[in-house]
Amino acid sequence: MEDIFKRLPEHTCGWLANKLTLYKYQDFWAVKQLHEGGILAQQSFKAEPSDVFLCSFPKTGTTWLKSLAFAIVSRAKFDESSSPLLTNLVHECVPFLEREIDKIEENHKKSNFPLVATHLPYSLLPESILASDCKIVYIYRNTKDVIVSFYHFMREAVKLSMEDAPFQEAFEEFCEGICSSGPYWDHILGYWKASLERPERILFLKYEDLKRDPASNVKRLAEFIGYPFSADEEKAGVVDNIVSLCSFENLSNLEVNKSGKRKAGSLENRLYFRKGKDGDWKNYFTDEMKEKIDKIMDEKLSGTGLVLN
Ligand code: A3P
């Protein structure tokens, strides 16, 4: 495996005080450990027909999607007062394919827990997923908010202040496609094109739509992944309870998410809950920056039928 990395394009992020090095493997940038995890998954992961894949580019709403899907599939066992989400960061409840393949294999053997998350681009998904009929849910988000969210997450992860991590430089790198799992446009387009070919298999959910109308989108999500709400459940308020349980206001105020740490590594759970707002980019972007990224996205997405601002 080590040999692969010697031959790959490499980039050290200056705006993060050189504390992060990314490698470009098969057109996508990521840290070595994630590429290794992706390659291992490609070599050995066997999807089960009941698996549901929650796919995303980082900072587009992964934590929210995982929480909602977890609450949906586990609602027969737990309600809003007993949910493991109240005492665990959701990333400890729903494993990432490129990080926790053992946990997923254990779930396959020991339980019928169907959820698997990944930041892998569509083109790098293991063949056993591509060839399956498993459901895939892809969450995406306004590019400018992704950039701001990404900026804060990364700089806090390496413990840099805003003064020491210039936003403008982070922005320029993102525009060149350089960031973990980037380029963003290629990540979205991989899933988008696949969803046009097999719409019954891939659901596209937009962060901003979830914000605007969480209940309808939660119903859509539940139905799509094969866990639809019954009329009785709807009447009993189960959908609204899941929406409230997984709301930013609720999750971000839980002790575990305010002061806990990841079990592996040293990341603080609070980094996954910053503002949870639509449009925070307006506090960071100059007119020139807005124009530049809008133009890039328009060009990259032109003719694809996907509109994203
Ligand atoms: P901000 O940095 O804009 O606040 P990811 O989960 O893909 O890493 O994305 C993190 C982003 O989703 C952060 O955005 C975070 O605050 C937001 N987020 C986390 N949980 C959320 C929730 N329950 N509802 C809405 N947004 C949420």
Residue of minimum CA distance from atom 12 in ligand 1: 61
Give the pairing type, strands 135-140 and 52-56: parallel
- Ligand 1 center to 274 CA (angstroms): 7
Check: pTM over 0.75? Answer yes or no.
yes
Q: Name every residue whose Cβ is closer than 8 Å to that of residue 40 and which is 6 or more positions away in sequence.
A: 98, 101
Residue 52 lies in a domain: yes
| pLDDT value for 1 | 77
Q: Annotated catalytic residue: which of 11, 35, 91, 119? A: 119
- Ligand 1 center to 2 CA (angstroms): 34
Q: Name every residue whose Cβ is closer than 8 Å to that of residue 71 and which is 6 or more positions away in sequence.
A: 78, 80, 83, 85, 242, 245, 246
Q: Residues 81-101: pLDDT tens digits? A: 999 999 999 999 999 999 999
Residue 90 lies in a domain: yes
Give the pairing type, strands 21-25 and 28-30: antiparallel
Q: Is 119 a catalytic residue?
A: yes
Q: Residues 52-83: pLDDT tens digits? A: 999 999 999 999 999 999 999 999 999 999 99
User: In terms of Cα–Cα distance, which of 96, 27, 94 is closest to 58?
Assistant: 96
- CATH classification at residue 204: 3.40.50.300
Write the CA distances from 210 to 64, 66, 72, 136, 216, integer angstroms: 9, 13, 15, 17, 8
Residue 121 lies in a domain: yes
- Which phi and psi (to 5°) does residue 227 adopt? -130, 55
Q: Residues 215-268: pLDDT tens digits? A: 999 999 999 999 999 999 999 999 999 999 999 999 999 999 999 999 888 899
For 137, other C-beta atoms within 10 Å of its C-beta total 24
For 118, other C-beta atoms within 10 Å of its C-beta total 26
| pLDDT value for 3 | 86
Residue 276 lies in a domain: yes
Confirm or reject: Cβ of 64 under 6 Å from ligand 1.
Answer: yes
Confirm or reject: Cβ of 227 under 6 Å from ligand 1.
Answer: no
Residue of minimum CA distance from atom 27 in ligand 1: 276
| pLDDT value for 108 | 93
Give 197: exposed, middle or buried? Use CB within 10 Å, 0-12, 13-18, 19+: exposed
Residue 18 lies in a domain: yes
| Nearest atom within ligand 1 for CA of residue 60 | 7
Alpha-carbon gap, residue 62 to 45, rounded angstroms: 21
Edge-to-edge, what's the strand order for the sheet holding 202-206?
A: 115-118, 52-56, 135-140, 202-206
Domain that holds residue 232: 2-301
| pLDDT value for 203 | 97
Confirm or reject: Cβ of 214 under 6 Å from ligand 1.
Answer: no
Our CA angle for 274, 276, 281, nearest 5°, is: 90
Residue 308 lies in a domain: no
Mean pLDDT of 143-151: 98
Q: Is the pLDDT of residue 184 over 90?
A: yes
Residue 9 lies in a domain: yes
Residue 307 lies in a domain: no
Using N-to-C axis directions, what is the helix angle for 167-175 and 287-301, rounded to 10°?
20
For 55, other C-beta atoms within 10 Å of its C-beta total 26
- Terminal CA-CA length for the chain: 38
- Ligand 1 center to 278 CA (angstroms): 10
Owner of token pair 């609070």: 270
Count of the separate structural domains present in the chain: 1
Residue of minimum CA distance from atom 22 in ligand 1: 248
DSSP 151-172: HHHHHHHTT--TTTS-HHHHHH
Confirm or reject: Cβ of 62 under 6 Å from ligand 1.
Answer: yes
- Ligand 1 center to 216 CA (angstroms): 19
Pocket probe for ligand 1: among 57, 85, 149, 270, the residue whose CB has the most ligand atoms within 8 Å is 149
